Structure 1
């Protein structure tokens, strides 16, 4: 490692298979104090955006543009204030001045008879399952839920909820022992088949790249929102049976289109197969095996595809089949207790950092895989999990401070949020600017989000 290298950035770049000599082109505009936490969230966050920016510059160079002397990728300079703004994009978003509500009343930390439990009930079906699992009425109040949980053991609540398809996780102690994230890698990379597809020179790294987005809830949508920023034709496809929060879509739908397909219908299955056959990238965000019955198992997909899969708890082991969200993974791996207040109540990271960080890492992996396909013709299977990202953050906290070796870019005088305004079908959106920072990077998306589920399921780019 050279004196210029930032340790978290170097680790993430190595995990993505990047050439170490390219790291000399990465610097950061430091803003001490953003994303305050007991864990090194600022360093973690900037590293995920840093490797994503570097992967974008690398792909652009591989396509014949965006190089500096000697054909090296364009220089990367990442503004930590922009990173901090993007990592809380859902908090900055205003729709015609209206502030969004992040968590529903039945989502949160609750004391139990022997500790704490974290619930997630933001979607109506999750709320219904949670209350049904606990034998409570559908109209139960937060006070009634608190009373019910106070008389139960945390582990019992966790397993009862899991069996019912609900979401509740016992809050683990801060100690490293018995973490369900232990040993989960940051990313798994597996070569797929070969093809003769190559991308022509273009002004943006992912211009003309067709991305089929089968993801929900922050991490996956952040990844595909980033690919859209970089020029990709991103089509998000959801089931009409699983409604989305339109506020969440307004935050993560920038630059993308959104269509509905019912995969239980043969006609819609055929449309999906046609989209897959002509795509470059497929990104999924469901539990391991959940989409296999629809022909979306990696082994059944065309060899030219970059396939990026995302789940909550990892791809192997006893927790792999469980549903999960950022807040639940924080609770289940000890982060919530590391961030606990003086009164012992569990705390949280200053952002949905596992979601956002994983999103930028996933986008970086896709960009690097496209660079490899450009060079060798090989497709790639990428696997990520919120648990793997959480474990990396915990590992960073146990290593030497990356601040000692990180490259120092120019200081930023004001650490205010990096915001912009964009008109949309939802109304005027005030939103965080994208944090991607290579020389020549786009300052914003070409369009705001369309309304969820209202676009035609077809590509807009040529074949």
Structure 2
């Protein structure tokens, strides 16, 4: 990186003299809940402190509280693993700066490439009026755009937002939702929130199981908690890549593997590729399958971000992986949860917000659906997933056993809605300032870094972890997607 002295410059905490003093008046209930869901004991979570930044991530729902809790438990999990590996001798000391958290939760919005602001949503992605309500579409990737238009019998070229709007205005939202889903595309009807009593049991925040026996290797003492950990990253878009980007920050050797037939957005990779390497393997080819199996033989962690059972045909289901490698930590991520009629559907943060009632709760004065001030389900789930992996590695230090963790954007959405329900349906006091990413308070300049990359000069949000000695930046910027050798360092 270009604006600090060393690749892994460490500071006592993320700090800023102009911010409010750290706040600690007892255990934060949201943080305690997340830490308990990850299998952590109560005592360490009680020591997490936050430096407040009121007004950041403004929303009707308590997004700021969710965001800080996710980063808080990730920071604590890193500190506990560092101590378990012999890299720290004192009790975990965690102080998380909410301003740094806010900057990180909108990293794709803060990214600049040679001064240019990347496009976050394509023209055909967004909310649309229908004959009976509202619809949310996601057409950022070319193949999703093509499937959306095919389902509506619209031409693949020449269809602009105006024509799409006219077509959707005469159709039922659910009718379009089902037609687009059947065509392999992405669209959901905007739905009201379920009754508060229904949220608690819909989708858990984390599902965690551990095998009876294991043979995982212990980590040697190091300055970074995940040093020496080998992570196979089979994820795309935001949540999974944020998790593995965080593990790379903490010293892990993260190797992302994609199909050469599903190219990633260069802008998305420029945001989430920090600290990692990226290679392509076609699992339909026996030679590439053999390379992947060789990588699995010495991996510590596998993170997947595909729909349930999507990887089972390649022997990459969690059960198959743990039978072959009982010391492995397998962390899985999906959109809609691991059970229920929507479990097998494709999904993104924006669609889950629309389908779970968040868009209705964040509606603007004109009644049009609104959005959270960040892709908070993605980013929050990413930090929770990283925390879960770090917790599992800590447990493995003691007994050699791996773990199977499952997360979903729907589970994180239900947690957020549950937070609001416990607070009488309101968000953080004074935090509502409008709907949408444009309402997010800008981070202070020290929250941003700069580095060169194959994509151009990047200005980006620095990582927000806040345990004592945490790295304040990645060891390297993103390389070009799919161009690294599929091998460990």
TM-score, normalised with respect to structure 1: 0.94
Conserved? CA contact 1:172–1:334, under 8 Å: yes
Q: Deviations over 1:293-346 (max 9, x none)?
A: 111011211111000000000011101000000000000000000000111100
1:439 corresponds to: 468
Pairs aligned (count): 446
Distance 1:178 1:154 in 2: 26
- The alignment status of 1:173 with 2:202, answered yes or no, reads no
CA RMSD in angstroms, aligned pairs only: 1.7
Q: 1:247 to 1:80 in 2, by over 3 A?
A: same
Distance 2:247 2:448 in 1: 19
1:126 corresponds to which of 144, 147, 162: 144
2:244 corresponds to which of 209, 215, 224: 224
Q: 1:384 to 1:395 in 2, by over 3 A?
A: same
1:189 corresponds to: 208
Distance 1:233 1:240 in 2: 21
1:26 corresponds to: 48
Conserved? CA contact 1:35–1:41, under 8 Å: yes
- The alignment status of 1:215 with 2:244, answered yes or no, reads no
Conserved? CA contact 2:30–2:66, under 8 Å: yes
C-alpha displacement at 1:176, in angstroms?
2.7
Conserved? CA contact 2:199–2:414, under 8 Å: no
Distance 1:278 1:181 in 2: 39
Runs (5+) with no aligned partner, structure 1: 405-413
Q: How does 1:240-389 map to 2 (within 5 A)?
A: 240-301=260-321, 302-389=325-412
C-alpha displacement at 1:149, in angstroms?
0.5
Distance 2:343 2:482 in 1: 29
- The alignment status of 1:52 with 2:74, answered yes or no, reads yes
1:421 corresponds to: 450
Distance 1:415 1:448 in 2: 20
Q: Which moved more, 1:137-146 or 1:318-327?
A: 137-146
C-alpha displacement at 1:177, in angstroms?
7.6
Q: How does 1:83-122 map to 2 (within 5 A)?
A: 83-122=101-140
4+ residue runs over 3 A deviation: 177-182, 400-404
- The alignment status of 1:76 with 2:98, answered yes or no, reads no
C-alpha displacement at 1:175, in angstroms?
4.4
Q: Deviations over 1:1-29 (max 9, x none)?
A: x9510111000000001111102321011
Secondary structure at the counterpart of residue 103 of structure 1: coil
Q: 1:321 to 1:419 in 2, by over 3 A?
A: same
Runs (5+) with no aligned partner, structure 2: 1-23, 430-441
Conserved? CA contact 2:228–2:251, under 8 Å: yes
Distance 2:469 2:107 in 1: 23
1:151 corresponds to: 170
Q: 1:178 to 1:395 in 2, by over 3 A?
A: closer
Distance 2:176 2:113 in 1: 37
Conserved? CA contact 1:180–1:319, under 8 Å: no
